[in-house]
Amino acid sequence: MNPFRNVARDNHQYAVIGLGRFGRAVCTTLHGLGHDVLGIDSNEKLVAQALGEHYTAHAVQLDSTEPMALKEAGVFEFDTVIVAIGNYIQESVITTLNLKEGGVPHVVAKASNDVHGKLLKKIGADRVVFPEHEMGCNLARSLTRPNILERLNLDKEHSVVEITVPPEFDGQTIAELNLRNRFGLNLLALGEDTKNYFQINPPSQSASPQGSDHGGDWGQQRDRAVGQVEQCW
């Protein structure tokens, strides 16, 4: 009898294999967002920790390189499985292969280097992530461009960027700022930290928040455009 079968029938079906720092962070975030998560690790202490700290609804100890163990735990029935095994390449690759051969539709795998990532893609991983690389890039950006709070690259020339409002903009309306003509920017939303919400597609007569500590969400056409806005600080 599979004790986790009912978990895999929920609307949000996530399993995380590997409960180290990365896997624990994934579990904690998914659990905090209200999703039922099955945590898996071969280390009994990490499984006990997951259950004790309640950052996953369910946790089980098993060897993910054994297809039968995954099948008996009902892992093949999940829509999305995250392989958070980064430092043990052989275990990571075998686990990912087992999941794809077991019919899991969406497998996200953590890679520790480029070769590891290529192997994961070759055997069918639907998405490969490089957490250390991405964290390093984000840190470098935050140090060199501290006024950019968040950034989502859409393609090589277009991004959605959240930036703090330059003091020069204080009290001016969106129409007065004339962002599109001056900087090539499309304003998507405007927000204030004190109110903790964003006004989507604000009207042109809206005034920018007072003080540079408030966040604004801007549509960027080219990286050069945000650089021009940064000169206003």
Structure confidence by residue, pLDDT tens digits, 10-34: 456 899 999 999 999 999 999 988 8
CATH T-level fold of 7-131: Rossmann fold (3.40.50)
CA 72 to each of CA 3, 13, 75: distance values in angstroms, whole numbers, following the listed order: 9, 16, 8
- Tokens 């950034």 -> residue: 151
Q: Give the residue from 68, 49, 58 showing the smallest Cα distance to 16.
A: 58
The domain locations on the chain are 7-131, 144-230
Q: Give the residue from 90, 87, 93 showing the smallest Cα distance to 109.
A: 93
- Tokens 């703090």 -> residue: 164
What pLDDT score was predicted for residue 193? 64
Structure confidence by residue, pLDDT tens digits, 128-152: 999 877 778 777 877 777 777 777 7
Q: Residue 9 above 50 pLDDT?
A: no
Q: What's the pLDDT band for 214 if we cut at 50, 70, 90?
A: very low
Q: Residue 100 above 70 pLDDT?
A: yes
Per CATH, domain 144-230 is 3.30.70.1450? yes
Question: What mean pLDDT do residues 188-207 have?
Answer: 73
